[in-house]
Amino acid sequence: MKGKEKSVRVDIKRAIIPIILAIVIIGLVSVLFFKIDMTKIVSELQEANYPLVIAAFIVYFLSAFIWSARWRVGILATGERVGIKELFPIVWGSMFVNNLTPLNRVGGDPIARPYLLKKRTKIKFRTGFSSVVGEQLFQIPVVLGLVAVGLSLRFLMEPSGILSIISIVACAGIAVFLVPFFMLIFKKKGFSEKLAGFIAKILGLMRRDTDLEDITEVLEDFRKNSRKIISSRQNALKMVGLSIMLWAVDLFRIYLILTAVGITWTLPMLFLVSTLPQIAGLLPLLPGGIGAVGGTFTAVLTSFNIDKEVAFGAMLIERSMSLLFSTLVGAGFLSYLGIKIWKEEGPKE
């Protein structure tokens, strides 16, 4: 007798938009690729200032210390204790997971970091998750602020109409009101019950067994920890300050890359080429923001009248750091963490 075959259902309506966006991005990148003189790109890369490129790699590697310090502020706010020495390899290990999942920088990160933190330090997953959410929340205003400043400087240098003004106002508005909005949400005790009911309904539609009390308990714990992190003015100042420092280091890294390939940079160029590709990478399409990040990076540079071959060469150097290098180093740190956890927990019988 043949066993019962399980049919796999695919929601075409939900999948069609990401598929179309992926096709469009891959198509645009392909068109750009075929229009570019590859011999000129090779020549540009051969003539690049490699001491500056190596310096950019070093800056990228060390920036994880600032990232770890910012995350530590969130963890300490929940009452847990952990050092940067323990967080640094976890941050790098999560980069490996991030590069294998959609949503660049925030794909697997909110899950991977708390999971590795729990395995390494025994801090509860929900506590680690709250710290990651709080940390990312304080990064958003900084990123949008940089975009608004970049657009403002670009508009002052080259007035480009009402669209630029709308973009500046939108970025500045979201940056100013986002954190207070979430503070208000996390302050309400009914937040956990309402969200738990919503999650239970979704799981019910997926025909999953649910325990409303358990879901509510987890969410209430998450709400309380998140509130501790974002309601403290001291924590807020520390996280925003470290976020500004982290993005300042990234701007310096981008400056090194652009200078290495001979691009005459401007402040609006630095601000926009550092932030817009990362925002584009949030599209839930391909792992590590492949296509979206590189395409946006190149498009931003060419919008400043940079030769497309030079822009493409700069993009290849940047992605060799943020994708290839981070994946390899992240895999190394993930292996290191796996060995440490295995030794601490002992081999399973």
Residue 260, amino acid = A
Model confidence pLDDT, tens digit, residues 31-70: 665 666 677 777 778 888 999 999 999 999 999 999 999 9
- Looking at residue 135, its pLDDT comes to 81
Structural domain containing residue 264 = 43-344
Model confidence pLDDT, tens digit, residues 69-98: 999 998 888 888 899 999 999 999 988 888
Say if CB 219 and CB 192 are below 8 A apart. yes
Crossing angle, helix 162-187 and helix 125-157, to 10 degrees? 160
Query: What average pLDDT does this structure show over 13-42?
Result: 62
- Looking at residue 148, its pLDDT comes to 78
CA distance 333 to 311: 32
33 in any annotated domain: no
207 in any annotated domain: yes
- Looking at residue 89, its pLDDT comes to 94
Token pair for residue 113? 């970091």
More confident residue, 119 or 55: 55
How many independent structural domains does the chain possess? 1
Residues above pLDDT 90, as percent of the chain: 23
29 in any annotated domain: no
- Looking at residue 5, its pLDDT comes to 42
- CB crowding 289-300: b at 16 or more within 10 Å, else e: bbbbbbbbbbbb
20 in any annotated domain: no
162 in any annotated domain: yes
pLDDT band, residue 342 (cuts 50/70/90): confident
Q: Could you tell me the maximum CA-CA distance found in the chain, to the nearest angstrom?
A: 76
Query: What average pLDDT does this structure show over 222-242?
Result: 77
Model confidence pLDDT, tens digit, residues 161-198: 555 555 656 665 665 565 565 655 556 666 656 665 65
For all residues of the chain together, what is the average pLDDT? Answer: 77
- Looking at residue 236, its pLDDT comes to 79
Tally the C-alpha atoms within 13 A of residue 349's C-alpha that lie toward its C-beta. 0
pLDDT band, residue 256 (cuts 50/70/90): very high
Say if CB 222 and CB 129 are below 8 A apart. yes
Token pair for residue 205? 């539609």
CA distance 139 to 243: 6
Crossing angle, helix 190-205 and helix 212-231, to 10 degrees? 130
More confident residue, 247 or 220: 247
223 in any annotated domain: yes
22 in any annotated domain: no
- Looking at residue 20, its pLDDT comes to 61
- Looking at residue 270, its pLDDT comes to 92
25 in any annotated domain: no
More confident residue, 329 or 292: 329
